[in-house]
Every structure is written in C-alpha cells, then in structure tokens.
Amino acid sequence: MEELAIEVRGLRKTYDDFVAVDGIDFEVRRGEIFGLLGPNGAGKTTTLECLEGLRDADEGEMLVGGVDPGSNRKKLYRGIGVQLQSGSLPGYMTVREALRLFGAHRGVTPDPGIPARLGLAEHMDTQYAALSTGQKRRTDLALAILHRPGVLFLDEPTAGLDVSTRIALHGIIEELRESGTTVILSTHDMAEAEELADRVAILIRGRIAAIGSPRDLTATGHGMTRISARTTGASLGCGAFADFRPEGEYFVGFTTTPGPAVMRIMDHISRAGDTLVDLRVERPSLEERFLEMVRDESA
C-alpha cells in the first residue's frame, strides 16, 4: 500500500454564508507532486491554508505527514515547508539575514547552492523591501526549502518569475520529489501543472470537479486531438480528407480517435506515392480541459 503524505476527508470551510470549501476528499501520495487548480474563488487557497494550519476547518479530517494541522501545529511546522501567496518578510531584513535566522530556527545551515540556483546570490545583502517581486518570491521559496521538508506547499510559486528562474525552480521541485518530498502546488499556470504534477485536482466552487493525472484528465474531456501533417506533394489536398483543411504548409484536422486517424493518413500518403515531411499530434491541453470543465460547471 502506498504511503500517504496528505489525507483530507470531508473538509468544509465557510465564511459567514459563503461556502469556500464544500466537503472535499483527496489523498496525496508520498513523493508525489500534486497540483491544485481552479478559477479564482474556487477554494484553493482556503484548502491550502487549512492544511498549513493557518485556518481552522469547520468540518472534516486532515492529516499532513501524519499530523493533524488543526491540533498540533508545532509538529506540523517541523515537517513542512510553505511558500505563501500572501506571505512577506520584514522590509529591513536582508536575504542573508533571513536565511540565517530561519535556518537557525530550523536547526540547519542554509545550503549556499539554494540562493545561487534561485538567482539570489547577488542579492544576499539586499533588504527584502528593495527586492523585485520575483526576487521576493524566490527568497520565500528558498526559506521554504532550506530544511528539505517532507511536504512542501507552493502557492503560485512561479508568478512573476522570468523564464530561466522558472526553469531552475522546476528543476528544484523535481529534485525535491526525487528526494522524497511531497509537493502541493497551487497554480493558475496549467502548462506548469501539466509539466510538473503527477496528479491534479480541479476545484470549482469549493468542490473537486475532477482529480487524476493530467493525461487522464485531458483524455476524459470532449476535446479533439489536433493532427497536422506536411508532405512534399499535394496528396492531402483536393478533398482527400473531408475534415482536413490547409493551414499554411500544413493540412490540419481534429479527431477524437487520433490513432486510427494517423494510420489512415499514413496509408493515404503512401498509396499516393507522396512523402511525409512532418506529422504533429497534439492532444488537448490541460488548459483546454480546465476551461471546458469550468464552462460545464457554469452551465
């Protein structure tokens, strides 16, 4: 049986009359990257903050690393790392001071490789208030991972980051997973979730609308797979396939059965004595599936 890092049963949280989280259940396996996706106000941050011990749930049971976040926060915070979406540090604290203070509190010596990889090496003596938004988020992240936590919560970790830092961050997250850290990733960036997450849960109006691997979720939608083909000749033109249309040098079509469709195209090209130059099969993205689900829920 796989070891669970997080167990949530019937989690419910309301703010006056507004139901932010409406009795959700999910599990996260140890060493997994688990994405929490949803539109604004779907309950992602409330869910995360209940798991992080920042909010008390109205109903339900939660275990994070075997600890109930509502009743044993001291033990909880020893085992988790958190990068808050709305967190901050004292404006007059330098990056170096923050790493030393939080490292000492955690009982670890900060690994100098972490600030270097997050592009903070040149800003170690800069005060937090003088850092750019991206540098602040990287500092928050460096603090969250400096003690190699068992469970890492990341709330919009790459918001405001440039491409190279983002790639470096993805590398660090994957390394953490390799070393056994469980990562809970809340993000609006579907491409990021699709690239990093082993499984995702899509939250809509406080309920889990879908849960599974990005591949499984995209496969269950009514989205069509896009097939683009380019040949040296014109075998795909002249109405060879009714559902294919020219787009620049390519012929592009959409299908729900990509396997047979590709076979059919290849066979046709071969019979026509034509030569295939390029063939692209693009399944529906998680973003398309996500938008589809949001539309369905709103309808």
Partner 1 sequence: MKTVALHYSFEFLAGMRNRTLLLMNYLMPLGFYALVGTMMAQINPFFGDQMIPAMVAFAILSGTIMGLPTPLIESREGGILRSFRVHGFSAAPLLAMPAITTAVHTGLVAAVITLTAPMLFDAPAPTDPWTFVLITALLAFALSGLGSLIGVVSAGSKVAILWQQLIYLPSMILGGLMIPVEILPDAFARVAHLLPATYGMQAFLGGAFGMESLYSPAAAAGVLFAGGIAAFGLALYLFSWDDKNGGRRGHPALAALALLPYAIGAIFLVS
User: Where do contacts with partner 1 occur on this chain (CB under 8 A)?
Assistant: 49, 52-56, 74, 77-78, 80, 82, 84, 86-90, 92-93, 97, 100-102, 104-106, 127, 140, 143
Q: In this complex, which beta carbon is closest to partner 1, that of residue 83 or of residue 231?
A: 83
Q: Smallest distance, Å, CB 154 to partner 1?
A: 12
Q: In this complex, which beta carbon is closest to partner 1, that of residue 129 or of residue 167?
A: 129
Q: In this complex, which beta carbon is closest to partner 1, that of residue 156 or of residue 194?
A: 156
Contact between 120 and 138 (Cβ < 8 Å): yes
E strand segments, 49-128: 59-64, 80-83
Q: Smallest distance, Å, CB 139 to partner 1?
A: 10
Q: Smallest distance, Å, CB 52 to partner 1?
A: 6
Q: In this complex, which beta carbon is closest to partner 1, that of residue 104 or of residue 266?
A: 104
186 - beta bridge partners? 36, 155
Q: In this complex, which beta carbon is closest to partner 1, that of residue 104 or of residue 167?
A: 104
Q: Smallest distance, Å, CB 97 to partner 1?
A: 5
- β-pairing, 250-255 with 244-247? antiparallel
Contact between 143 and 102 (Cβ < 8 Å): yes
Burial of 284 (C-beta count, 10 Å sphere; 0-12/13-18/19+): buried
Q: What does the chain come to in residues? A: 299
Q: In this complex, which beta carbon is closest to partner 1, that of residue 32 or of residue 140?
A: 140
Non-local (6+) Cβ contacts of 231 within 8 A are 269, 274, 275, 276, 277
Q: Smallest distance, Å, CB 54 to partner 1?
A: 6
Q: Smallest distance, Å, CB 130 to partner 1?
A: 11
Largest Cα–Cα separation, the chain: 73
Q: Smallest distance, Å, CB 4 to partner 1?
A: 21
Residue 55: closest CA among 82, 34, 25, 35 = 82
H/E stretch holding 48: helix 44-51
Dihedral of alpha carbons 181, 183, 189, 190, sign: positive
